[in-house]
A and B are shown apart, each in its own frame.
Chain A
Amino acid sequence: MNRIKQLFQDKKDILSIYYTAGYPNLGDTVPILETLEKSGADLVEIGIPFSDPLADGPTIQHSGETALKNGMSLNVLFEQLAEVRSKVKMPLILMGYINTVHKYGIEAFAEKCNEVGVDGVILPDLPFQVYLDEYKDTFDKFGVSNIFLITPQTPDARIKLIDEKTNGFIYMVSSASVTGAKKGLSDEQLAYFDRVNQLNLDNPALIGFGIGDNASYKETCKFADGAIIGSAFVKLLGESGDLHQNIQSFIKSIKG
């Protein structure tokens, strides 16, 4: 059984953390990962920085710009992750824009993910149909799950199709926004969570975008298998003080 499936079988209220590789410093990628695991994060999405991150708000944009200036790239990231499986056990996801992966080569990318022990990928601007027609076989061959986003506007039929054709989890974007944009749950969001729950999906679902504290984490966990925190965590990484102590107290405060 793969690590993602195992995690969702074993645990509830999954806390998934997103951060940008190579931020705040180039060499921070793996040390942050280790601290996250020790602190109690269940799943991690490592962001591949891109020059044109059109789905991201200012916080993650800024982290990506810094990471690129630091010299981060897919090549560097895979080098950093080469020994990662001797250090952390939790499922690892890479998240990034399709152009960097396309340039690296789809097959080479999937193979490398498999080699270093990356369990899944989230490529928000990879069209689902293109994935099915051209990419799925390659990722399947290397046992790498593709995770797709759904939003309050995504029709039921499309959600069901994504559920049927993928095997990681469903990434529920909480509202029409870029990352980090909003706080608190509206009636519309509650209706959306309810709608998705009634579809009885095979895959677990995590809710992301706009979650950043204990209250919002607890609240969203009521409606899905867990929550994803991105911008709030990336913001913390940019703050002064001891990075690893900051991470520990952040995760602790989220879990409550």
Chain B
Amino acid sequence: MHLEYFKLIDRIVELDIGERRITVEAQVPRTNTIFEGHFPGYPIMPGVLLIEAMAQSSGWLLIALTKFERMPFLAAVKEAKMRSFVNPGDLLKIDVSLVHEGSGYAITQAKVRVNNELRCNATITFGVIPFPNPDLRGHMEAEAKRVGFPHEAIPTTSPISTDEPRQ
């Protein structure tokens, strides 16, 4: 987890295109300036960053389902629950499943666990649009290497269509 660069996901552990779900891991750093302010003498991971971690995890699933043709952008966060604290040094396991694929948008459900204990969860809506420029796509492809994106898991035809109803 590189908080300074807003890169919250360390690695993709499992990607199941057929089941439309992904599992990723993210190691919360033991020390960071964020913990000096949140909170002095009682460092905990900010809930907004946990939501961002769930969003980024969801993003990898949606990029995979669209075969790197589209970029998801955060549109809405619902039912976000911070169930118990996440501490410096915790290893997050984040499971995401696709709730709905719409035309130009998608909804996911994400759960963050530490040592198999559910710490937070959310339902998240994304606008899913073609990459706005080649630079961003190139950046995401480079990031994919960093997180161990399993390209072999992507079939030749996209499971997410744009406007065709899913039968």
Q: Is A bound to B?
A: no
Interface on B for A, CB 8 Å cutoff?
none
Interface on A for B, CB 8 Å cutoff?
none
